[in-house]
Amino acid sequence: MLVNAELSQDFSRLNKQFKELVSALVDIVNIPPVRVEVEAVREGNFRGFDSGRFYLVDSGSLSARYRGRTVYILDEGDLLLPDIAGASQSGMAVLYGSEAGASLYGYPGLEFMQRVFADPSANKVWTRLMITYAGLLLRITAANTRDDAVATPGFEEFQPGEIIINQGERADYVFNLSSGTAEVIVDDVIVGRISEGEIFGAMAALTQSDRSATVRAWTRCSVVKVPKEQFADLIRSNPATIHSLLVDMAHSIVNLNEQLVGLRNKPGGS
């Protein structure tokens, strides 16, 4: 994804992660695509455009235009998702064109998502992809916002031993661990670990309660921070997020139970 604006380095990192997730998702879903050749067309949607399909850019580029203004450009490895609002109201549509033409792969949207929902591994990749996509759009929005407006941070890196969230603090964000491994600590006792791709910090954010545990980077960690309000909207609009979240919470409970059993089996344990 390319943008005609000055963006920070974290946008490039998220962009790279987004394309890696797209590639992984397409491999898991494994639907034979239909090749679509796009002729150069600046205004309006390209010939052969189908709002019921997902498109993967194989070569060339597509411009996404809203109300006559280019918002971003999709290049090789990017995924074009259906514009639901624009499908029902033409005045709200995002229009896709190409300055010099492009080659795409088309996938039937309904069958694609049915396979995503049916496969836990695809479900998890899809959730990470949506969170990463939201992070990209936040940065595009911030880059086109006045300097005096408040921009929401969303991507951070932590070195081993650094604290990501503190037990007892206010829960304003939900986190997705893009890379690395983190430790979960309750009252100075390590009770579990968080692995790459897992969502954490959601329970406190969704229940409006304080953090029940500290999360500390065990290795170098990259995390995407999603404001709790935005995460709630994501859950409402994308049921797959709920499944992925429940899987990660179940893993956390299993890790905690194993830790408790270990403590009880130690000499002097109750």
Whether 227 shows a pLDDT value over 50: the answer reads yes
Q: Which residue has the higher pLDDT, 51 or 114?
A: 114
CATH of 155-265, one of 3.40.710.10, 2.60.120.10, 3.30.565.10, 3.10.20.600: 2.60.120.10
Predicted local confidence at residue 152, as pLDDT: 46
Give percent of the chain with pLDDT exceeding 70: 74
Q: Which of the listed ranges 41-50, 142-151, 212-221 does the model predict with the highest average pLDDT?
A: 212-221
Instruction: Give the 3-state secondary structure of the chain.
Output: CECCCCCCHHHHHHHHHHHHHHHHHHHHHCCCCEEEEECCECCCCCCCCCCCEEEEEEEECEEEEECCEEEEEECCCCEECCCHHHHHCHHHCEEEEECCCEEEEEEEHHHHHHHHHHCHHHHHHHHHHHHHHHHHHHHHHHHCCCCCCCCCCCEEEECCCCEEECCCCCCCEEEEEEECCEEEEECCEEEEEECCCCEECHHHHHHCCCCCCEEEECCCEEEEEEEHHHHHHHHHHCHHHHHHHHHHHHHHHHHHHHHHHHHHHCCCCC
Residue-range domain boundaries for the chain: 9-120, 155-265
Instruction: Determine the average pLDDT of the residues in 157-183.
Output: 89
Same fold, 9-120 and 155-265: yes
CATH of 9-120, one of 3.50.30.30, 3.40.50.300, 3.30.2130.10, 2.60.120.10: 2.60.120.10
Per-residue pLDDT band for 34 (boundaries 50, 70, 90) equals: very high
Per-residue pLDDT band for 28 (boundaries 50, 70, 90) equals: very high
Per-residue pLDDT band for 218 (boundaries 50, 70, 90) equals: very high
Q: Which residue has the higher pLDDT, 42 or 220?
A: 220
